[in-house]
Amino acid sequence: MNPEIEKKYEHVLIAMGANLPSRLGTPVQTLEAAVNEIKANGVEVVKKSRWYRSEPVPVSSQNWYINGVISVKTGHGPEALLALLHEIEGRFGRERGEPNAARVLDLDLVAYGQLVRIGQGAPEIPHPRMHDRAFVLLPMADFAPEWSHPVTGTPLAELIKAIPDDQIAVPLEV
């Protein structure tokens, strides 16, 4: 067997979000079910942030989102993992339409260890807008405060300080 296939990649970060109910219930119920579905597909969930309530970016009249981030170990390469995430979104009822539309489930591959892949096709790693998104950075701080952006080297705490004031993301009371 190919040793590369047996390797488990660590510190892979997946951002999760939903702002519409699904057949499984509320956005929180959908996101919890999505975490379980990711696990059921052979991806080890190592850490999970709290759920955050966040205003849509860009600001719009649609429902606010519930967002979180998970850290996983996986034997899937970036393309295979992204394909799996898209497959799971589809199983949950996600329909791809216009950008920034409301959705029942959004799963984004935001970082893959220290891998940098820019301008080489999908997926771009790290996600090209992750460093500008409160709904990604604040959940990451729950379990990875030492994380630094693989391209710029900017520590997570500095990225959080630079979040625009108009982005709101607050932890849900559980």
C-beta neighbour count of 170 within 10 angstroms: 13
Q: Tokens standing for 135?
A: 């709904």
| 78, 110 contact by CB (below 8 A) | no
- Residue 145 preceded by cis peptide, ω within 30: no
Q: What is the chain's pLDDT, residue by residue, as a tens digit (174 residues)?
A: 334 444 566 789 999 999 999 999 999 999 999 999 999 999 999 999 999 999 988 777 789 999 999 999 999 999 999 999 999 999 998 777 777 677 899 999 999 999 999 887 778 999 999 999 999 999 999 999 999 999 999 999 999 999 988 899 999 985
pTM of the predicted model as reported, rounded to 2 decimal places = 0.92
| Domains parsed from the chain with CATH numbers | 3-171 (3.30.70.560)
Q: CA 151, CA 138: separation in Å to the nearest integer? A: 19
Q: Which residues pair with 22 in a beta bridge?
A: 25
Q: Give the C-alpha separation, 108 to 122, whole Å.
A: 12
